[in-house]
Structure 1
Amino acid sequence: MLNSLIVGVVLLNVLAAALVVARAPVYRTRLYRPMLLNLVLSAAPLVVLGLAVVVLLPLLVVGTPRPVVWGIAGALGLVWLLLLPNSGYLITELNLNHRRAGERVPEWYDVLLVLSLAMAGVATTVLNVFLVVLLGLLATGDDSAAALAQPWARAVETVLLVLVAFGIYLGRHVRLNSWDVRHPRHLVRKVVGHLRSRGAMGNALGFTLVGALFLGLMYLVMIGPVVTGLVEVERLRG
């Protein structure tokens, strides 16, 4: 069940990348590189999660002191959280702004292209959040499927999706990148300056709430059946 989810998300990203790359030689037009860059950035949080598992598991096996392990986990977790909005950011590609006059690319191709990009971003975001909740359960020693349906898990998922939605807003409307955190003063000034402009606070709040609701519904559609299935399998085995 979980394997199917992961494979499906990976293949959706592969499809999106293939459509972006194939567009240039098939229709003899330019390669739209920003889309490929955004796809790479979208996958970055999953890479960080994989790195966390590769780094932390051996440390736990050899008996590394817990404070050291949690310190490394916290640092990797912060990097993951800063990169996570890049996955959801792909929903902002859901337009045809990349089309240029004189191109022979059929509209149906570009519609499927941007739709694949957007859905790949949503699916990757959902998978990231679910895997973090799953890893959090394993880290606390609770490996029961029923824990995935507990209120605290729902609270973590909600907070993460709200942060993702706000991060997408900052990326699209304030033109911030994850690595801008290297200059915190400039970042804060830019965000505060933007939010003080006329109507910006309402737009930011509206986008964040509606965006989080959308991602939450997609999370329910994709992860809900997985959690229900895991709980049922656990019940039958118990």
Structure 2
Amino acid sequence: MKELNYSKVFILLAGMTAATLAVYRVVSLQTDTFYAFLLWNLFLAWVPFFFSMAAHELDKRKIGGLLILPLGIAWLLFFPNAPYIMTDLVHLTIRKSKYIVDGTIQNRYWYDLTTLLLFTWSGWLTGFFSLYQFQHVIYRKSNRVLSWVFVLFACVMGGYGVLLGRVYRLNSWDVLTDRHQLYQLVLDSLNRQSVFFSLFVAFVLLVIYATLYCLLNGLASGNGSRRAYSKGGRR
């Protein structure tokens, strides 16, 4: 598992976020500020990355070993905020009357769709990099198998968190502020439809994360590529 340069990762994510905010600003001036809530949702998607950065730095410096666990719990509570942004696409359906007038799709539909997709991409990318970072911490402390067990568990909890957030309107911090409500919602959500939804989202998260993991760790051996090139020569 490759060690990434997280300073460069941070710059990449910050640049992507800045571009997303710029697009939102331009589109909101052309249409309206209905999607202003996406700014808060994107901020929440950044929170797990800050927790994973802290855990990674502590582990890298071999200090604060006891802090890794609470950082991991905090990360897990906020991680679902990253994939949750995808569900904001539902507003394109809710606001259908503004996008289709007399059978004609208005330009604002494409502006808002692009904005939502950019927010989704920024949130997902930030969340997946934070997952990769925490997986690397666990990989260094244990082995590859346990690190992937953690990834699988995180994706399942991410899917369940999306369910609690979108369907039951639960926030990450409600775990600390309203435990009775959380307990009741957990009981209410234990049904076949909710389990299927959570596992479906978890599968999607796992597929996308595995793709990112393969891209980051290389799909082919660099040495093998260089040997093939040297044998073939220039053409």
Query: TM-score of the superposition, structure 1-length normalised?
Result: 0.75
Does 1:203 pair with 2:196? no
2:202 counterpart residue number = 212
Conserved? CA contact 2:55–2:68, under 8 Å:
yes
Q: Is the 8 A contact 1:174 1:191 kept in 2?
A: no
| Residue matched to 1:186 | 181
Relative to 1, partners in 2 of residues 1:155 and 1:52: Cα closer, same or farther, differing over 3 Å? Answer: closer
> Quick one: percent identity of the two aligned structures?
22
Residues 130 and 223, structure 1, Cα contact 8 Å, conserved in 2: yes
RMSD after superposition: 3.1
TM-score (norm 2): 0.76
CA displacement at 1:53 relative to structure 2: 4.3
> C-alpha deviations, 1:60-86, integer Å up to 9, x for none?
2xxxxxxxx333221111111101111
In structure 2, the partner of 1:39 is 42
Cα separation, 2, equivalents of 1:219 and 1:71: 28
The residue identity in structure 1 corresponding to 2:171 is N
1:133 and 1:102 map into 2 onto residues whose CA distance is: 43
Look up the equivalent residue of 2:121 and give its one-letter code: M
How many residues were matched structurally?
A: 213
Q: 1:202 to 1:152 in 2, by over 3 A?
A: same
Task: Give the superposition deviation at 1:99.
Answer: 4.8
Q: Which residue of 2 aligns with 1:66?
A: none
SS at structure 2 position matched to 1:32: helix
Tell me the distance in 2 between the aligned counterparts of 1:99 and 1:35.
16
Letter in 2 for 1:185: H
Deviations 1:16-66 (A, max 9, x none): 3222233223x1523532110000001111112223345666672xxxxxx
Equivalent residue number for residue 53 of structure 2: 50
1:160 aligns with 2:163: no
Residue number in structure 1 paired with 2:216? 226
Q: 1:111 aligns with which of 110, 113, 120?
A: 113
Residue correspondence of structure 1 range 19-38 to structure 2 within 5 A: 19-25=23-29, 27=30, 29-30=32-33, 32-38=35-41
Decide whether the 8 Å contact of 1:126 with 1:219 is kept in 2: yes
Cα deviation for residue 12 of structure 1 reads 3.4
Residue of 172, 176, 191 corresponding to 2:170: 176
**Pairwise CA distance, 1:222:** 1.3
**Partner residue of 1:74?**
69
How far, CA to CA, are the matches of 1:235 and 1:9 in structure 2? 31
8 Å CA contact retained: 1:17, 1:39: no
5+ unaligned residues in a row in structure 1: which ranges? Answer: 61-68
Cα deviations by residue, 1:174-193 (Å, 9 ceiling, x for unpaired) = 1100100112222101331x
Q: Distance in 1 between matches of 2:204 and 2:110?
A: 25
Contact 2:135 2:148 in 1 (8 A): no
Distance in 2 (alpha carbons) for counterparts of 1:186 and 1:73: 28
Distance 1:56 1:71 in 2: 10
> 2:88 aligned to 86, 93, 105, which one?
93
SS at match of 2:33: coil
SS of 2:173's equivalent in the other structure is: helix
1:12 aligned onto 2:12: no
C-alpha distance in structure 2 between counterparts of 1:156 and 1:100, whole Å: 40
Contact 1:6/1:127 (CA < 8 Å) preserved in 2?
A: no
The separation in 2 between residues aligned to 1:154 and 1:83, in whole angstroms, is 19
CA contact (8 A) 1:158 1:216 kept: yes
> How far is 1:111 from its partner?
1.3
